[in-house]
Structure 1
Amino acid sequence: MIDPALLRENPDLVRRSQQARGNSPESVDEAIAADTARRAAINAFEALRAEQNAFGKTVAQAPKEDKPALVAQAKELSDRVKAAQGDVTAAEEAAQQAFARIENIVIDGVPAGGEDDYVVLREEGVIPAFDFEARDHLELGEKLGAIDMERGTKVSGSRFYFLTGIGARLEIALMNLALNRAIEAGFTPMIVPTLVRPEVMQGTGFLGEHADEVYHLDKEDLYLVGTSEVPLAGYHMDEILDLGRGAKRYAGWSTCYRSEAGSYGKDTRGIIRVHQFNKLEMFVYTTPEDAEAEHQRLLALQEQMMADLGLAYRVIDTAAGDLGSSAARKYDIEAWVPTQGKYRELTSTSNCTTYQARRLDIRYRPDGGKTTPVATLNGTLATTRWIVALLETHQRADGSVTVPEVLRPYLGGLEVMEPAE
């Protein structure tokens, strides 16, 4: 959630942010009214409780013959205090719901608008050109004995697959490369839970308008995560962190699950949009002052991976309406997919400022003073979808695929993936 003080002191900033996201500014007025009602209810409750405490002393000191009448008055006052306490609970719940409708404040310079209103910051690499008819990643994967969609569907349904032989080895190689890069950059490697409690999923902002994309286990009341951002955000929930020696950086390796609600008919061929995949996610806890510099650091790590894998890519500054509720700024990196003739998103990195930390109660104590929320950031360093761009970019006329040099040590020195046929 956003800082309540910001809402009170600069409501116009919050309105502009909501409008940039395509949301109604009326939600700001509703939150202000709910916050005012909450504070009024708290003040009324505290005044009555103070009156009750003072009256209790009067009853204790009163003559015996006066006590029955005073006790009756005390009972009436106690009932009023309980009612006021109920009013506080109701007002706090209403305020919480109103604040939940306000998404994170976008950072200055973020483009306004929706999914198509992004700004291209730069394009890097050489778009591949072939003197033969290029095969798409699924045809290549089947020829290499790397991807088996047919049996994935047989076993689990649509949008499931098997990575087999060199396909399995390629994903593990990619993930290990990313993990080593993260470790070299100071990240602590983590294998994280992929089932989380509702308060963690809610706290990270994944139970908003896209809640239907999340798998829920009703019996256990647990959620399957679509990214290890979620358990990594919950890792320090309800804690006060020591950031005196710098940011806390984690790299979470996990299987991820997404229902892909609303994607009927989209990307049904191959492994671009699937229900299950692996991902290595970077996650950072830092001070609000250092968050934007940390964001650029995550982006640089992602771009270096793209460049070293020989992929042509572009970086876009995502528009406010496509950020999701938690991000204040998000950069997407899209790689060129030759058979589609366009860039497709492979990875992103988000600066969530203090939004998630406020919801999850994660704080630090600057200079030994009053505790304040930390900033959180995330960014993907490798995922299954990258195989799409790798196979198509490095394919050869006979259906073989050149292994990028940076991956060869992770594949026993293999230079070329040969057709299995």
Structure 2
Amino acid sequence: MIDPKLLREDPDRVRESQRRRGASVELVDQLLAADERRRSSIASFEQLRSEQKSLGKQVARAQGEEKQALLARTRELSGQVKAAEAEQAEGEREFQRLMLELDNLVEDDVPPGGEDDYVVLEEVGSPRDFAAEGFEPRDHVELGQLLAAIDIERGAKVSGARFYYLTGVGALLEMALINMAVEQAMAYGFTPMIPPSLVKPRAMEGTGFLGQAADDVYRVEQDDLYLVGTSEVPLAAYHMDEILDADALPLRYAGSSPAFRREAGSYGKDTRGIIRVHWFDKVEMFSFCHPDQAREEHQRFLAWEREFWDRLEIPYRVIDTAAGDLGASAARKYDIEAWIPTQGRYREVTSTSNCTEFQARRLGVRFRDADGVRPVATLNGTLVAIARAIVALLENHQQADGSVLVPKALQSYLGGRVLLEPRA
């Protein structure tokens, strides 16, 4: 959530952020009214409690009729105090409920518009001209079958649509990509982690995934737990309700975990292959940092993601996501989109978001410095999402005979293998 002080002192800025997101502007006025009610009820309760305490002292000293009058007022006050306390509690609940509906403030220079209004910041590498090489590229499904690396048919048989098995070199590719990503993250000071994939509601709500994204989340109702769609959730909640030492910041973690997504609303989209699936593994970067350093940390995250994809020798572009396409927690988000030859277009493979203090306020993650105690900033960034990385690798590095060249940086993680060959 945002700072309530900012809401009171600069509501127009909050309204403008909501407008740019395409979210409810009226929510800001509802919040201001709820905040006024909340603060007024607190003042009334405290005034009545003060009078009640004062009367208690007077009763002890009073005699006769004066004492009886004071006792009568004390009984009257008791009911008023209880009513004021209930009003205060209700005002606080309503204010907090509305605050949880309010999205993070968008950075001022984020592109305006919706899903299709992103700004391309850079294109890196050139897509291969397969026609000049004399063959038509195969898609990752066909390549996966030739290499005995991906088994979609049995994945559907066992688990349903949008599930798959990685087999043989496909499984080895996953492990190689994870190891390469974790090793790179450790080189930049990240602590590797394998976090839980089931979390309590507060962790999911605190990271902003029970609002606009709730339909895409799997819930285990019997246990009131959620399957995470990204290890951002358990990593963000790792320091929940803690006060961190300012000198320890930034605290950086690299979480390797499965991600589960219902893909609600994706009917008919990407039905072939493993681009849009209900489960995949990935390595996620996460940082708790000083709020004044959040923008610089965001640029570092993007640079680390770019470095990883440079090493995979895959053409990609970097986009600055438009305000209307941001998640509730993100003040800004950059995506890396890899070139997919058989689709003739770029597809998202990683993203990195600056969530400023939004998640930390919800989760109670703070730090202490000379100025006191206040919320940290949180940032997240996907280093590699395995399924889409395998798609991009197979399609971009394929050869005419169905074999696939292994990028030099990945070879050592595959036992020195330089070529993935079709199974005879």
Q: TM-score category by the smaller chain? A: over 0.9
Inter-partner Cα distance in structure 2 for 1:115 and 1:243: 37
Query: RMSD across aligned C-alpha pairs, in angstroms?
Result: 1.1
Query: Quick one: which of 364, 367, 390 aligns to 1:364?
Result: 367
Inter-partner Cα distance in structure 1 for 2:286 and 2:107: 19
- Confirm whether residue 24 of structure 1 aligns to residue 28 of structure 2: no
Question: Which secondary structure state, in structure 2, belongs to the residue aligned with residue 324 of structure 1?
Answer: coil
Residue 247 of structure 2: aligned partner: 244
- Confirm whether residue 171 of structure 1 aligns to residue 167 of structure 2: no
Q: CA deviation at 1:365?
A: 1.6
Question: Which secondary structure state, in structure 2, belongs to the residue aligned with residue 365 of structure 1?
Answer: strand
Residue 153 of structure 1: aligned partner: 156
- Confirm whether residue 277 of structure 1 aligns to residue 280 of structure 2: yes
Inter-partner Cα distance in structure 2 for 1:211 and 1:3: 24
| Residue-by-residue CA offset, 1:244-276 (whole Å, 9 max, x unaligned) | 143000001111100101101111111101111
Inter-partner Cα distance in structure 1 for 2:84 and 2:200: 32
Inter-partner Cα distance in structure 2 for 1:153 and 1:406: 33
Code of the aligned partner of 1:93: R
Q: Work out whether residues 249 and 288 of structure 2, in 8 Å CA contact, stay in contact via their aligned partners in 1.
A: no
Inter-partner Cα distance in structure 2 for 1:224 and 1:135: 34
Q: How many residues align?
A: 420
Question: Which secondary structure state, in structure 1, belongs to the residue aligned with residue 246 of structure 2?
Answer: coil
- Correspondence list, 1:13-412, <5 A: 13-63=13-63, 67-130=67-130, 131-367=134-370, 369-384=371-386, 385-412=388-415
Please identify, of 77-86 and 324-333, the stretch whose mean Cα deviation from structure 2 is larger. 77-86
| Residue-by-residue CA offset, 1:86-127 (whole Å, 9 max, x unaligned) | 101111111112222221001121011110111110100121
Structure 2 residue runs without a partner (length 5+):
none
Q: Work out whether residues 175 and 383 of structure 1, in 8 Å CA contact, stay in contact via their aligned partners in 2.
A: no
Please identify, of 58-67 and 336-345, the stretch whose mean Cα deviation from structure 2 is larger. 58-67
| Residue-by-residue CA offset, 1:285-317 (whole Å, 9 max, x unaligned) | 001100000000000000011111011000000
Q: CA deviation at 1:355?
A: 0.4
Code of the aligned partner of 2:233: V
- Confirm whether residue 12 of structure 1 aligns to residue 15 of structure 2: no
Inter-partner Cα distance in structure 2 for 1:370 and 1:58: 40
Q: CA deviation at 1:78?
A: 1.3
Question: Which secondary structure state, in structure 1, belongs to the residue aligned with residue 96 of structure 2?
Answer: helix
Code of the aligned partner of 1:120: V
Structure 1 residue runs without a partner (length 5+):
none
Please identify, of 19-28 and 326-335, the stretch whose mean Cα deviation from structure 2 is larger. 19-28
Inter-partner Cα distance in structure 1 for 2:350 and 2:245: 30
Q: CA deviation at 1:25?
A: 1.7
| Residue-by-residue CA offset, 1:51-91 (whole Å, 9 max, x unaligned) | 11111111222226654553333222111111111101111
Q: CA deviation at 1:27?
A: 1.4
| Residue-by-residue CA offset, 1:327-367 (whole Å, 9 max, x unaligned) | 00000000000000000000000000000001111111222
Inter-partner Cα distance in structure 2 for 1:64 and 1:339: 96
Q: Work out whether residues 199 and 227 of structure 2, in 8 Å CA contact, stay in contact via their aligned partners in 1.
A: yes
Inter-partner Cα distance in structure 2 for 1:116 and 1:97: 31
Question: Which secondary structure state, in structure 2, belongs to the residue aligned with residue 219 of structure 1?
Answer: helix
Inter-partner Cα distance in structure 2 for 1:294 and 1:154: 44
Code of the aligned partner of 1:63: Q
Inter-partner Cα distance in structure 1 for 2:113 and 2:99: 22
Code of the aligned partner of 2:74: A
Structure 1 length-normalised TM: 0.98
Please identify, of 114-123 and 99-108, the stretch whose mean Cα deviation from structure 2 is larger. 99-108
Q: CA deviation at 1:128?
A: 1.6
Inter-partner Cα distance in structure 2 for 1:281 and 1:292: 18
Code of the aligned partner of 1:395: Q
| Residue-by-residue CA offset, 1:370-406 (whole Å, 9 max, x unaligned) | 2111000000011122111010000000100001111
Percent identity, aligned pairs only, is 61
Code of the aligned partner of 1:276: W
Inter-partner Cα distance in structure 1 for 2:249 and 2:242: 16
Q: Work out whether residues 251 and 282 of structure 1, in 8 Å CA contact, stay in contact via their aligned partners in 2.
A: yes
Question: Which secondary structure state, in structure 1, belongs to the residue aligned with residue 222 of structure 2?
Answer: coil
Inter-partner Cα distance in structure 1 for 2:69 and 2:219: 57
Code of the aligned partner of 1:203: G
Inter-partner Cα distance in structure 2 for 1:360 and 1:109: 27
Inter-partner Cα distance in structure 1 for 2:65 and 2:32: 50
